[in-house]
Amino acid sequence: MMELKLAAPEQVAAVYERDLKPSFPPAELKPLANIQAMCREGCYRLWCLFDGEEIAGECFLWLGRPGWALLDYLCVAESRRNGGAGARMLSELRRVERDTVILVESEAPVHAPDPALAARRLSFYARNGLRNAGYDADVFGVHYNMLYLWREALGDGELMEENRFIYQNRFPREKYERYVRIPRDPAAEPFLQVPWNED
């Protein structure tokens, strides 16, 4: 039986190398050292979907104020794709984080390198009960459609405020203003894509 459990510190690097690194472009991928530091600081939580001793996939949560988080990454091991592991993780995440509103960034098809893949991701989230937020975001040059996982509809103002807080709490003001737009101006071109960094 598959079960979502928190990863041990030594498992973070293993799933990062096996699943995240091959699956995400540099502009969307935090360096491993940053993820490990955020885990130690208590502002990041890594849930792994275990099938016995094997990890079938991961949910990386970036924590905001109490009751709020950003689903930073949802990743399924290559050998487990198209077998329902992604849907199972979202279902289990609802259970284990029942008191947390989970914000989700999904690359907007209009500016994605692979628009068909971006559209499939949005369809996956819709099938699994995520709601559309009424705004988009631009983070490190990636245009995201914003969604959220919660049992009832929430106002865009509240969603944007908590979304901004997650980034503003991590970055100095000048960096936030340079690389993050929440909400994104629909008429604007995305920022130039740069790798995620905290320098």
Residue type, 10: E
95: Cβ–Cβ under 8 A, 6 or more apart, which residues?
A: 4
Measured distance CA(184)–CA(173) in Å, rounded: 17
What percent of the chain clears pLDDT 70, i.e. is strictly above it?
A: 98
pLDDT in tens, 39-70: 999 999 999 999 999 999 999 999 999 999 99
Over 70: is that where the pLDDT of 104 sits? yes
Is-contact 50 56, C-beta < 8 A? yes
- Rounded to 5°, angle at Cα 6 from 5 and 8: 125
Each residue of 73-86: pLDDT tens digit? 999 999 999 889 99
More confident of the two residues 99 and 189? 99
Q: Given this structure, which CATH class describes domain 2-181?
A: alpha beta
> What amino acid occupies position 93?
L
Asked whether 75 and 57 are in contact (CB, 8 A), the reply is yes
For position 129, what pLDDT does the model report? 96
- Which of the four pLDDT bands, split at 50, 70 and 90, describes residue 16? very high
Cβ count near 117 (within 10 Å): 11
Could you give the CA distance from residue 162 to residue 147 in angstroms, rounded to a whole number? 13
Rounded to two decimals, what is the model's pTM?
A: 0.94
Is the per-residue pLDDT at 199 higher than 70? no
Kindly list the domain boundaries of the chain, sorted by start residue: 2-181
Instruction: Supply the pLDDT for residue 82.
Output: 87
Backbone angles phi, psi at 47, to 5 degrees: -95, 130
Selection from 193, 106, 182, 181 nearest residue 142 by Cα:
193
Over residues 129-180, the pLDDT tens digits come to 999 999 999 999 999 999 999 999 999 999 999 999 999 999 999 999 999 9
141: phi > 0 → left, psi -120 to 50 → alpha, else beta; which?
left
